[in-house]
Amino acid sequence: MARTETATSEATGRSGLDESTRLALFRSIVEMRYFEERAHRLFLDNLVKGTSHLSLGQEAIAAGFGLAMRPDDYTFATYRGHAHTLARGVPMGPVLGELLGRKTGLLHGKGGSMHLTSVEHNMMGSYAIVGAHMPVAAGAAWSAQVRGTEQVAVCFVGDGTTNIGNFHESLNLAAVWKLPVVYVCENNLYMEYTPISKVTSVPNPAADRASAYGLESLIVDGNDPEAVYEMALERLARARAGEGPSLIEAKTYRKGGHSRADPAKYRPEEEVKEWLARDPVDNYRKRLLESGIDEATLVEIEKESLAKVDEADAEARAGPLPDVSSMETNVWSDGGSAWRR
C-alpha cells in the first residue's frame, strides 16, 4: 500500500535551505499577497469587471512550486490563477491590466481573470471549468515525454475538483504512461460555498485516492512555503527522471471568499480563527526573523514588492480599452473570425 508522507518544514526540523532561497520564497509570497490585496481593492473600486478568484492565504503553494520549477516546465492553473501566473515570472502590469479589461492586459481583454495565460513563460493557461485542464496537463507532459525534453507539467486543482470525472481519467492515464506531470490539489476545505467534507467519500480528497492509481499518498502543509518547495523539488526531479506522475494534497485555507463578492459567511468562526493564525505570510515572516534574518531585509522586500504592485496598478489603470474590432480577431489561425467563403 502507498504510504502517506506528511511534510512540514517545522516537522522536518529547522530548514536546510540557504538564505537566498528562503528570501526568494518570502519575496514571492509577499508579492502575491500584495498583488491579490490590490486586485481585491480594485474590485471594490469597481474597476475589476466580472468575477475574480484570489489566492489570499494560499500563496505558499504557488510560491513553492514557482521557485522549484525549471523555466521550461509547464504550469496549468484554475480560474484561481493569479498567484500561479506571477509565480512563473509573468509581469504584474499585464495581469492586472487583464483584470481591468484593458488592451494592455495579458490577453488584451479577451480572456479575463479566469483565463490568464502566458505561453512565453510556459504558463499554459488558467481554466475555468473544474477539472478540464487535468488531461490537458497530461497532454503537455506526454508531448514533453515523446520530445525527450525532460520538461514537467505542473497542474494545480482544488479539493472540489477531486470529485469530477476528469480527475479520475487524467490520473489513470498519467500513471499508466508514467507521464512527467505533478498534480497539486490545493485543499482549502471548500468548493465554492460547500465544505468538501460534505460531498466527499474520503477525508483527504486527493491523498486518499492516490492508491487508486498506484501512486503514493502525499500531503504537505500548503501554508509552509519551504515544505511545499522541498516537496516540489523532489516530485519534479522524480518526474524528470521518468519515474512518473505525482499527486500532492496541499492543506490550506482561503483568507476570504470564493470569488469577488463572497463574504464567506458559511465558514465557522472557530475554523476561520484557527486558520488565519496559520497565515503563510505572517508565519513565514516570523520564522525568518526567529532564524536570525534581520527585519530590515524583510522590510526592504516588502517595500519593493509594494512598489512593484503600485507600478503595475498605475500601468494597468493607464492602459487603454481594447479596440472593439478585436472582438472578431483570433478565433482562427488566420487571425480572424470568418467561417464562410
Interacting residue ranges for a second copy, rule: CB under 8 A: 1, 163-169, 171-173, 175-176, 198-202, 208-209, 211-215
The count of chain residues that interact with ligand TPP, using the rule CB under 6 A, is: 15
**Taking contact as CB under 6 A, which single stretch among the options 39-47, 103-111, 159-167, 273-281 is the one that binds ligand TPP?**
159-167
Q: Which residue has the cell 526592504?
A: 300
Binding mask 55-94 for another protein (x = CB under 8 A): -------------------x--------------------
Among residues 146 and 261, whose Cβ is nearest to a second copy? 146
276 contacts another protein (rule: CB under 8 A): no
- Answer for the pair 219, 3: CB distance below 8 angstroms, yes or no: no
Among residues 208 and 226, whose Cβ is nearest to a second copy? 208
- Answer for the pair 28, 66: CB distance below 8 angstroms, yes or no: yes
CA distance 224 to 219: 12
**Taking contact as CB under 5 A, which single stretch among the options 71-79, 135-143, 183-191, 245-253 is the one that binds Mg ion?**
183-191
Residues near 329 by beta carbon (within 8 Å), at least 6 away in sequence: 335, 336, 337
CA distance 74 to 267: 34
Task: Write out the DSSP string of 124-155.
Answer: EEEESSTTTHHHHHHHHHHHHHHHT----EEE
61 contacts ligand TPP (rule: CB under 6 A): no
Task: Write out the DSSP string of 257-278.
Answer: -SSTT---TTS-HHHHHHHHTT
80 contacts ligand TPP (rule: CB under 6 A): yes
Instruction: Decide which of ligand TPP, a second copy, Mg ion, none touches 128; Cβ closer than 5 to 8 Å per partner kind.
Output: ligand TPP
Among residues 13 and 148, whose Cβ is nearest to another protein? 148
CA distance 63 to 36: 14
Where does residue 214 fall: left (phi above 0), alpha (psi -120 to 50 degrees), or beta otherwise? left
Task: Find the largest Cα–Cα distance for the chain.
Answer: 70
R_g (Cα) of the chain, nearest Å: 20
Beta bridge partners of 195: 190
Among residues 91 and 111, whose Cβ is nearest to ligand TPP? 111
CA distance 81 to 171: 21
**Taking contact as CB under 5 A, which single stretch among the options 184-192, 198-206, 226-234, 271-279 is the one that binds Mg ion?**
184-192
159 contacts ligand TPP (rule: CB under 6 A): yes
CA distance 53 to 64: 20
Among residues 192 and 310, whose Cβ is nearest to ligand TPP? 192
Instruction: Decide which of ligand TPP, a second copy, Mg ion, none touches 192; Cβ closer than 5 to 8 Å per partner kind.
Output: ligand TPP
Tell me which residues in 102-161 interact with Mg ion (CB under 5 A).
158-159
Residue nearest to ligand TPP (CB): 158
Q: What residues make contact with Mg ion under the rule CB under 5 A?
A: 158-159, 188, 190
Q: What residues make contact with ligand TPP under the rule CB under 6 A?
A: 80, 128-130, 158-161, 164, 186, 188, 190-192, 258
